[in-house]
Structure formats: C-alpha cells, structure tokens
Chain A
Amino acid sequence: MTAEIVANTSDVTLRRATPEQRRARTVGILLLLLSAFVLWVFGFGVESADTSTFNLSLPGAKYENIKWEVDSRLLSAILAALIAFLGGLVLRRTYLRWTNVALAISLALTALSFLTWAAAGKSFSLVGMLVSTVVLSIPVTLGALSGLMCERVAVINIAIEGQLLTSAFVGTIVGSAANIWVGLVAAVLTGALLGAILAVLAIRYHIDQIIAGVVINIFALGLTSFLARRVLTAEPSLNSPGRFASFKIPFFGDIPVIGPMFFDQNMFIYATFVLVIAIHFGLFYTRWGLRSRSVGEHPKAADTVGIDVFKTRYRNVIMGGCIAGFGGAFLTLSQVSRFEENLTAGIGFIGLAAMIFGRWKPLGALGAGLVFGFARALQQKLGILGTPIPSEFLSMLPYIVTIIVVAGVVGKSRPPAADGQPYFKQ
C-alpha cells in the first residue's frame, strides 16, 4: 500500500480513505462484532425451548390481551442476522448517510434482543416500558431544548440542571399553596428568571459561561436544599402539590402500543411534542429562527446587517430558561408530586448531552431524549425481571451512553460557530 502511494503520489488523495469512510469501516466491523455478540450472548444464553412473551397492551385497555410470544433463541438469531446484514451493507458501500441509520437500527435490534434474553421464559410488558420511555424522555428532551435555544445564539447553558431543580422546587411550593396551574406558571417564571440571570452574567458581565452555569447550579442546589430543610420540613403541607392528570385523546388513545405511548398522557407530554415541532419550525422556517442562528454562527455579521445581537441573546436565553422551568414543573407536578433535595440528580446534564447528541436540532433533541428515556426505562424495568446484571451497572447506562455519544461515535456534530464566546459591540 505504502509502496503504491510512493510510486504514484498523484493518487494519494484518491486512495486514502476519508475520515468518514474510515469511520464507516469501523462502524461496519463493530456491527459484525455486535452481531456475533448478540447471537452468542443473547441467542445462546437462553434455553433452547424458552419463549419470551411481550405484552403489547396495558390491562384495562380497549383492546386487551395483545401478546407476542416468540422463541427467544430464534428471535435473537434473526436479529443477529439482520445486524450482520446491516454491518455488511455499511462495509460494502460506505454511503455516509447510511452509516448512522444502520447503527441506530442495529442498536434498536440489539436492545430488542437483549429484552428477549431478559424476558426468556417470562412475560414482559413491552408497552409499559415504552410508555416509561416516553415519560422519562420528557425532562431530558426539555433540557436539551432549553440548551439548544441558548446555544443557537451562542450562549452555553450548563445551568439547565439548576434551572430544573429550582423551578421544580418553586413549582412544588406554589403548586401546594395555590393550585398546580399556578405552580406551573411559577415554575416557568422561575426558569425564566434563572435564564435571565445567566444571560446577564454571560452577556452583560462577560463571565465565562461555563462558570456562570456552574455557579447557578451550585446556588440552586444550595438554596433549594436549604429551603427544603428550613421551610418544607416546617410546613410539610407545602410539599404536596398534586399532579396533572393524564387524559386520553379520543380514538388515537385506543391504538395498541402507540396509543398509550403518545395519546394517553398528561399535558406535559403533549406540550413537549408541540414545543419540539414549534421550535423546529421556528428555528428553520421563520425570521426569528434565521436571526437567532445567524447570531450564533457569526454575531458580527448579524450585527452588521442590523440584528440586535444582545437582544436576540437575552430573548432566547430567557426562553430557554422558560423551557427548563417547564421541565422542572414536570418533575414535581407530573412525576413524583413531592420535592426532595437534589431530585434532578443530573438530568440537566443528560439533557445537555442529548442536545449535543441531537446535533443542536429540536427533532434531534427529541430523538436523543427518547434514547436516554429508553435507557432509564430499561434500568427500571429490568429490576422487575431480575436479570443477573447488577442494578448499579444498569444505573450507569445513561451516563455511559452519554460519554459514547459525546465522544462522537455517532459522528462529529458541529456546534454553532460562536458558541460560548461573548460578543463585544464595537
């Protein structure tokens, strides 16, 4: 190979694989290995006669008792074959767009095979897990949306965690004192306030944006823990806000699997989906979006054509805070209905990772949120199945996934060009 290159230097650029091609080759080989792994561990890790039963309907649903019984080993073997096929496809023709699709499909197939293995000889509520996936994806998706609102205008929002935590706290107190709707509004306003603080520190005072974010996080953790101990323990009645009830959308809610996942949830879930679509549309098809993106990519150019860089940044960062506040409200007004110290436990940071995973795009954020939601749901439900894998390792899963994602296994994602840099008007 080297001899050839030396002999014919004009061919060097043609012969040397581009980084994308090399990555595709790596992914292809990885998929083949994954296929072998799936066949070996999940396929032959079960008794030959075992069947896995997946429940596809919830008890009490309109169409009850939809079940899928399948020979565990056979299914894993088929899945392994499919993964190997995809791996071969990636290796054969290194079409760049296909690589990620093949990777995503293969990972989904691996997850299914894993579930088959875990549920061998048992019955497993697949739809229950998928519903949990959607629910658990919501705070991550909202965190990611909050982050991308800010980063699209080149302000790094690492304070998502603190915004979620504080607005969850305020939502709880106000929700308990008044009602949950007022609590929701208070939570969103709290998020907006923290967004405004971040914006002032970053834009007006040019504090390093990561420092500003870390400070807000420490402040939020300290203040909410302090107040929780000092006020909530004295007045426990302030710590039971109640929850938003779920309501079923007629007809769609009765569709098996998809119905309970997307059409029989509470307001937060619907609102998140609407928000994702609205931000996607706004960011890429409206004047506001074009201006925001230009401020994030090249603020000086934006300024030159008359866009107010500071105003745009303030507005978007505060909107991002509102979204995080909404996410915080979700945590206490939809999920646990009770505030506990440090109840976010890193969700904000996972949201940040989901934003990077989703390549700074709203639909990407939703997709990434669902992946993280799935990892969490898996961790919760596998405890019930009693797999031999220690629960601590399952708890690590979302964080490991995040590192793998950020390390660029899914390809290099490019942040807005001016991300993190303060703007000085001349």
Chain B
Amino acid sequence: MTDVDANPEDGSDPEEVDEQATTDWLARATGVGSSVKQALLVPALALFSALVIGAIIIALTDVDSLRLWGDDPGEALRSTLSGIGDAYRALFVGSLGSRNAISETLFAATPLILAGLAVAVGFQAGLFNIGANGQMHVGGMVGLWVGFSVSAPAIIHIPLAIGGAIVGGAAWGGLSGLLKARTGAHEVITTIMLNFIALFMVDYLLTGTLFQAQGRNDPISKRADPSAQFPTLFDGYRVHMGFLVALAAVWHVWWLMYRSTIGYEFRAVGANPEGGKYAGMNVAWIYVAVMAVSGGLAGVAGANQVLGLEPYRAFSGFAGDTGFDAIALALLGRSNPIGVLFAGLLFGGLRAGGLQMQGTAGIPVDLVLVLQALIIVFIAAPELVKAVYRIKTVDESTKSAISTGWGS
C-alpha cells in the first residue's frame, strides 16, 4: 500500500533505505517489516510530537495554574499536569472510551474521509484543491434540494440526493479545473475564492423561497424528507449510512486511481505534466476531470453534512472546517485512499475527543486544529522528524513538490 508507484519522481533511493533500515532503532525494537514500518513510523512520531507540543500549549495557557507558580510551585505543577491529564484523558475517552464514543468517532470521520479523498485525488494529479469547503457547500445544497423537493422511497431518494451532491460538487470543482486549463489560473487561488463565493451563495439561498424553511425568518433551510435522511446504523448511536458511503468511496477511489486508465492518466499528469502531454494525454481535460472528481467527492461530504445529522437542514457555513481538515488528512494519508481512511479515523477521533475535551476539561476544541497542523508539519518535513528523533531513515515520499509556482 505504499504510494511509490504514485510518485515515481520522489521514491527515495532503495539502496539507501535498505542500508539504513537495518540500523534503525524502531525496526530493531518492533521487528516490523520495512514498508509497513515506513508507512507508520513518521505518522506515529508526528502524532506523538504533536501531542507533546499540544500539552505544552495547554500548560502555558492554563491561567489558573500559572498564577500558582509564585506561591506554591509543587501545587502549580500538580495542577498543570492534572490539567493536561484531564484534557488528554477526555480526548481518549471521547474518541474510544465507550461504544458511543466509537460511534461518535466514526460519525465525525465520515465527512473527513470523503473530503480527504477529494483532496487526495487532487494531490495525486498534482493539483491542490483547497476548495473542498466550497464544493461541500454547493454539493450539500444540491443534495438537500433533491432531499426535500423529490418524493421517492428511500432506496431511490438517497442515491438520487447523493448523485445531485456529486453533480453540484463536481461542477464547482470542475470550474477551478476549467479555469486552470483554459487560463492557467492557479487552482489554489481560484478554489479559495470559490469557497467564499459558495459561502455567500449559501447565505443568499437560505433566505430565498427555494430553500428557506417556511415560517422562518432566519437563514435556515427546509428539512430533508425522512426518505432522504441517511439512516443510522445502530439504534441510539449517531453513526449512519454515510460511513458506509465513505467506505465505498475509499474503495472506488482506490480502484479509480490504481486500476483504471483515467486514474493512471491522473497520476501520470501529477508526476509530470510535460511527460503526460508527450504521451498523448489531454492535460487540460485531465485538470478539469480531476477537479470534477475531487469536487464530486467533496460534494458527497457536503450531502453527508445535511442529510446525515440533525437537524437535516442547511445553515450558514454548514461545512465547517472540514474542507481544511481534509488537506491535513490527505497529507497524513499520503494521498492514498487507504491512508486517507485511517487518517480520517484518527482525525475523527481527535474531533470527537476534542469535543469531549471541550465539554469536560474546558479546553477549546480549536486545539485539535493546532494538533493537526503540527502533525502535517512533521509529516511533510521528514527531515524535521529525523532531526528531532535522531533517526537516520525516513520515508520521503510525501516530499513531492506540488507547487512549482503560479505560472501555467
């Protein structure tokens, strides 16, 4: 499951890896084979480092404990440590501590996996889709519209709504691809701008007759029909059918990227656009297709946000931060669908646990964003992990240069 074949450019020298792997302490300690170890070593160390820095941040912002340092350093230390302990215990209990916690983790992971796949598909083709948020908003609105305007049994209604969301997200993403293909406008800028435009468009639609709930003056949409709502998987738990959709999407993206011709073309263009052109690929069209596929996946994530949870309505900015978490996720999962799945579960756990942490330990859930940013830094800079942990070998496959400037 390595993505060496995805990025032929940057696979590190195999000889070097083999030679150094034998000297690596973790390999000796765990006895795990080189490839699996390679895939897990950096993420594990990244997560660990992030948690350590997170603990430092919690300690430094613990205003009550900080005041104690002058009078009673021992008590202050105890208070600080118990603050960190409470926070991380809540983080763990909230993500894995009970059946409900696991359900919450899967529930939170669902949109993350879908949006993470969206970003990952872009990465593999060398495109940086920061616009998952906008695509989620557009896809979600279309999906919701199908959800309340069409009457059909659930078996037809739900796929129809998801289909609508795919079309909406694909159109919004494809627009960035089209702009890149036709004018060379960098997708980073256009997707960010389209995020804002989508946000305002949602605000506008929520006050119009098409979407606004009857008898309401605030910007909130009509409720999706029960037949369009994703059914929960187990009674009393929030995890719902969307999780299965996400799993299906993981499998589908894996098949698309590694088993289909178009996926091969995506990856070829990502590895080397010039090479793709010489091999007879229509690079401009591939940019549009990649962004459309990416947007479509984000659209499903958007549908998940309106059809998969109470109140089954759209409201201003309903996609939240998911689109940005997705970038972190795709990097952590090394743009590999299976990697994204596990990264999504990790981030879902962080999210579910983070909410518990906010509830019981009073640590704002935004700390999770900080943890995520730190995780990516360590993932994206293997040399940093090398330097910190004095290990000699690290997988450098995430070091691919996605950006080569703004020009076309």
Contacts and interface: CB of A to CB of B under 8 A. Distances in A.
Interface string A170-211: 000000000000000000000000000000010001111111
Contacts of A229: 364, 366
Given A207-B381, A208-B380, A225-B369, A392 B203 contact: yes
Contact of B189 (A352, A412, A419): A352
Contact of B401 (A201, A216, A393, A421): A421
B89 interface: no
Contact of A226 (B196, B364, B384): B364
Interface in A394-424: 395-396, 399-400, 402-403, 406-408, 412, 414-416, 418-422
Interface string A65-77: 0000000000000
A407 B203 contact: no
A221 interface: yes
Interface in A198-249: 201, 205-212, 214-216, 218-219, 221-223, 225-227, 229-231, 234-235
A156 B403 contact: yes
B359 interface: no
B183 interface: yes
Interface centre among B363, B383, B401 (most CB of A within 10 A): B401
Given A208-B401, A392-B200, A226 B370 contact: yes
Contacts of A416: 405
B196 A227 contact: no
Given A222-B372, A408-B183, A419 B407 contact: yes
Contact of B381 (A205, A225, A414, A420): A205
A207 B376 CA distance: 11
Nearest to A360: B406
B327 interface: yes
B391 to A, nearest CB: 15
Contacts of A235: 63
B188 A218 contact: no
Contacts of B201: 392, 396
A332 B183 CA distance: 37
A406 B190 contact: yes
Interface string B318-336: 0000001001100100000
- The A contact surface, by secondary structure, is helix
A124 interface: no
A211 B193 contact: no
Interface residues of B, number: 54
Interface residues on A, range: 35 or more
Given A226-B61, A393-B200, A415-B405, A215 B192 contact: no
A127 B63 CA distance: 47
A201 B381 contact: yes
B368 interface: yes
B380 A215 contact: yes
Contact of B369 (A205, A210, A221): A221
Interface string B296-332: 0000000000000000000000000000100110010
Contacts of A156: 403, 405-406
B405 A408 contact: no
Contacts of B279: none
A386 to B, nearest CB: 16
Nearest to A403: B193
A207 B380 contact: yes
Contacts of A221: 324, 366, 369
B204 interface: yes
Question: Chain B CB within 10 Å — which of A392, A408, A415 has the most?
Answer: A392
B184 interface: yes
Interface of B: 57, 61, 63, 128, 130, 179, 182-186, 188-190, 192-194, 196-197, 200-201, 203-204, 207, 324, 327-328, 331, 363-364, 366-374, 376-377, 380-381, 383-384, 399-407
3 nearest CB pairs, A to B = A222-B369, A219-B373, A419-B405
Given A218-B376, A402-B189, A406-B186, 14 more contacts: A211-B402, A215-B377, A219-B369, A221-B369, A226-B364, A229-B364, A230-B363, A234-B63, A235-B63, A407-B179, A415-B405, A415-B407, A418-B405, A419-B406
